[in-house]
Structure 1
Amino acid sequence: MTEISYKEIETHIQEADASGYAPIYLIYGDELLVAEAYRSLLDAMIPEASRSLNFEAFDGMDAEMPDILERLNTFSLLGGTKVVALVSTQLFDTSKDLSSLLTRARQAADANDNRKAARYLLSVLSIQGLTLEDLKSGPRRDLLKMDASGVEDGEWLDRVITFCREHELSLPEPRDQAGLLQETLGKGFPAGNHLVITTDRVDRRKKLYSAIDESGIIVDCSIPKGDRRADRQVQGAVLKQRLEEALRKQGKTMSPGVFEALYEKSGFDLRTFTANIEKLIDYTGDLSNISPQDVESVLTRTKRDPIYEFTNAVTGRDMEGALFFMTSLLDSGEISHPLQLLAAVTNQIRKLILIREFIDGPNGGVWHADMPFQRFRQEVMPRIQDHDASLTALLEEWARALAPENDDQTATKASKTGKRRKKGVQTDLYIAPNPKNAYPVYLMMKKAGLFSKKELLDGYAEILEADVAIKTGGHQARGVLERLVMRFTGT
């Protein structure tokens, strides 16, 4: 039928009250937005007083599709509308999602939501054909492919495994549950019966997604989670709209700076942000206006700082900000060891050295720090692309010169066996590895202007010394990193 945004759910309900509800709904995306859309839809389809006989909900962690379809194909005892819900399903999880599932399991465990963490872990095991017993006897890191996901082994995993055993949770059946639902969709449900499915993510390439799209309504509650400028703009708009709507319902206003102060406390965590709005409303009571001072008085900082906040402060020569984010990341457990922060700084300083070389070279004369972005993209980016192309040609020339004498024989053998040889050179020395995304390059060009070439090269040498000092254990790691940060951010 169609796909709609979560913002359109109320409009859809009004139209469906007159024309009828779809036989199947798929609601996916942000957990809080999904829950709100699901609740609104359910309230409209089945009043709470009628749910004891006309509504059944199944937990996606342990539900079996044959049981769901059996209930779905059974008429309501009292007639009329019947709704069957499959909540937090993993129908769309695949082997390609292993890293994401492990990451979400760790995040849920860190939030003390062991049930959700168990659901993700069991999905990983089911996809790989493993059992909980396998984790008891074998190397967990290798079995769960933790190196690929970047998720660390540890106490959190012991806790989730114990939770699974104590609650006798079973692995999802490897049978084709999505196929069973898709087949039933083709036949149709009894008139008046509806299926509502919720999940945190979908795979649009799956046949089940297309089948639901053809037969029902898909409600998109997703919000970009990335750190790109465009993603952060969308996130900010969602949070600001939520704040304004909540205040409007309570007849309150806010002073300038309230949103920024609230975001600094909560970050982009929609559930925490919403809870903090409610705290502010309760705290201010009969007062009609909320001020930044109210935010400071009632809320504690729970924002989980992304590592780019730290590196941005370092490369922006913001000593106070860099030390703040360094402390926040280490104390919150977001970063398990200072070496991770050192590696992030190393990567940024290497980029600044490359850009400083370009600025000081024959092609960099057209650049100046006050240049608007549009002019940068038109005048400087073509020169950067030429610079990167020249680097590619040079590296390819070196590769050919260093190639073994039997390289032609190797190429011929690969051609006969049907295997394709990897083309081109692999390097991280490009200034603009993705020329279509020019804005991050523009920002790095501005930051490179804050350092001289000598400062960057001397600083890189000190990074190497700091790396040795931390790894040999002769110095306190945090202190070494702190001194390095002060060295880069000092004037």
Structure 2
Amino acid sequence: MKPEEFNRFVEKGELGPLYLLYGDEPYLVERAVKRLLDRVVDPGFRDFNLNVFYGNECKGDEVFSAAQTLPMFADRRVILVKKAGELNAAAQEILLPYLQDPAPSTCLILQAEKIDGRKKFFLDFKKRGEAVEFKRPYENQLGPYIRDEIRAAGKRIDPSAADLLGILVGTNLQELASQVEKLCIYCGNKEVIGMDDVRAIVSDTKVESVFEFTDAIGGKDLAKALRMLTSLFRDGEVPIRMLGAVARHFRQLWQVRELLDRRVPSSELGKATGINPYFLKKVTDQARNYTVGELRVIFEKMLELDLAFKSGGRSEVLFERFVTEVCTAGRSGR
């Protein structure tokens, strides 16, 4: 079952007895669990009809027994097993018979980040119940995701503003949800959220600084790039996150550079790359600063930098060296 289908069924109240909610995006998994709980269990009787277990701690017979217990003062009870991917083999073996004949008055929810889909327990669960995987959206999916979130809040957002918000905040959906909430409050009775609204709300966050940092590197503004780098490290920004933002920006530069080399008209660059018109001119201007060969070398250096970070290298020194090399590349030959 896809997340969209799950949401529709929950909204309609078409609920089953077995749910496996998992994936690499914890915010979406948590939200799905909450939606299910809110739909199944009356808050006034939640203390009587909700049992929460943890897969790395519980025994199978505890879960089995609770799942067979009748609800009190309600039609249904919920058994929620968090960290279900960590259920040991013995617990899985005990719970297997329950999957064949689940109690109709119980909703058993397994919540996990990762599961071993080869295990008989999870294979049977998927056959007998509903399995929903929540994946972290790719960067090019953030615009539609944001528009859906804004629509759910009763407003609309200009597509360019949605893209800008996605670029500034990135794929951290918890942070995105927070920014969407701030935007809706900031706009008050205003029905359509625009670019200025996004900049007004997001400009105070660290993500705006990361955005300026990547822009400075792309424009080969060494002084500003180093200044921004120092500021980001002082504010506790994570080096891997910063490198990810740089990689994203340079992927766009490479994309545009190749199109420019193929003599693609400027009027068609936006359509060919999917880059928001608001940013296209600046990206195109920056792309002219590099050759494809130079961009290839830069990506090789980014890979080296990523490996150095993960092996415990001195992040600030390594990043400063990288920024200096990128911003000064090709100067002697121009």
- TM-score normalised to the size of structure 1? 0.46
Task: Say whether the 8 Å CA contact 1:27–1:197 is kept in structure 2.
Answer: yes
- Partner SS, residue 198 of structure 1: strand
Q: Does 1:220 align with 2:122?
A: no
CA offset at residue 211 of structure 1?
0.6
Q: Does 1:7 align with 2:35?
A: no
Structure 2 counterpart of 1:485: 326
Structure 1 counterpart of 2:19: 25
Q: Does 1:323 align with 2:207?
A: no
CA offset at residue 16 of structure 1?
5.5
Written as runs of structure 1 = structure 2, the 5 A alignment for 1:280-295 is 280-295=183-198
Task: Say whether the 8 Å CA contact 1:24–1:196 is kept in structure 2.
Answer: yes
* Cα 1:205/1:236, change in 2 over 3 Å: farther
CA offset at residue 279 of structure 1?
0.9
1:84 to 79, 84, 94: 79
* Cα 1:233/1:15, change in 2 over 3 Å: same
CA offset at residue 212 of structure 1?
0.7
CA offset at residue 239 of structure 1?
2.9
- Partner SS, residue 319 of structure 1: coil
Structure 2 counterpart of 1:38: 33
* Cα 1:276/1:14, change in 2 over 3 Å: closer
User: Aligned partners of 1:304 and 1:90: how far apart in 2?
Assistant: 36
1:51 to 41, 46, 61: 46
* Cα 1:478/1:276, change in 2 over 3 Å: closer
Task: Say whether the 8 Å CA contact 2:143–2:162 is kept in structure 1.
Answer: no
CA offset at residue 31 of structure 1?
1.8
* Cα 1:281/1:175, change in 2 over 3 Å: same
Task: Say whether the 8 Å CA contact 1:53–1:76 is kept in structure 2.
Answer: yes
Amino acid at match of 1:334: V
Written as runs of structure 1 = structure 2, the 5 A alignment for 1:127-138 is none
Amino acid at match of 2:225: L
The CA RMSD over aligned residues, in Å, is 4.4
Amino acid at match of 2:6: I
- Partner SS, residue 26 of structure 1: strand
CA offset at residue 269 of structure 1?
1.0
- Partner SS, residue 68 of structure 1: helix
- Partner SS, residue 204 of structure 1: coil
Written as runs of structure 1 = structure 2, the 5 A alignment for 1:95-244 is 176-186=90-100, 188-224=101-137, 231-244=138-151
Structure 2 counterpart of 1:161: none
- Partner SS, residue 53 of structure 2: strand
Task: Say whether the 8 Å CA contact 1:88–1:200 is kept in structure 2.
Answer: yes
- Partner SS, residue 176 of structure 1: helix
User: Aligned partners of 2:74 and 2:181: how far apart in 1?
Assistant: 40
User: Aligned partners of 2:103 and 2:324: how far apart in 1?
Assistant: 70
Q: Quote the sequence identity (%).
A: 18
User: Aligned partners of 2:329 and 2:28: how far apart in 1?
Assistant: 42
CA offset at residue 273 of structure 1?
0.6
* Cα 1:305/1:178, change in 2 over 3 Å: farther
Deviations 1:245-299 (A, max 9, x none): 33xx1xx444564223322332111111111111122223234443333333333
Structure 1 counterpart of 2:166: 263
* Cα 1:273/1:369, change in 2 over 3 Å: same
CA offset at residue 77 of structure 1?
4.4
* Cα 1:202/1:279, change in 2 over 3 Å: same
- Partner SS, residue 325 of structure 2: helix
* Cα 1:304/1:69, change in 2 over 3 Å: farther
Q: Which one has a bigger Cα radius of gyration? A: 1
- Partner SS, residue 202 of structure 1: coil
Where does structure 2 lack aligned partners over 5 or more consecutive residues? 265-286, 309-313
CA offset at residue 82 of structure 1?
2.1
CA offset at residue 198 of structure 1?
1.2
User: Aligned partners of 1:11 and 1:452: how far apart in 2?
Assistant: 45
CA offset at residue 218 of structure 1?
1.1
1:370 to 241, 252, 262: 262
Q: Does 1:68 align with 2:71?
A: no
* Cα 1:81/1:33, change in 2 over 3 Å: same
Amino acid at match of 1:369: D
Task: Say whether the 8 Å CA contact 2:79–2:107 is kept in structure 1.
Answer: yes
User: Aligned partners of 2:295 and 2:174: how far apart in 1?
Assistant: 44
Task: Say whether the 8 Å CA contact 2:156–2:192 is kept in structure 1.
Answer: yes
CA offset at residue 9 of structure 1?
2.1
- TM-score normalised to the size of structure 2? 0.65
- Partner SS, residue 286 of structure 1: coil
CA offset at residue 200 of structure 1?
2.0
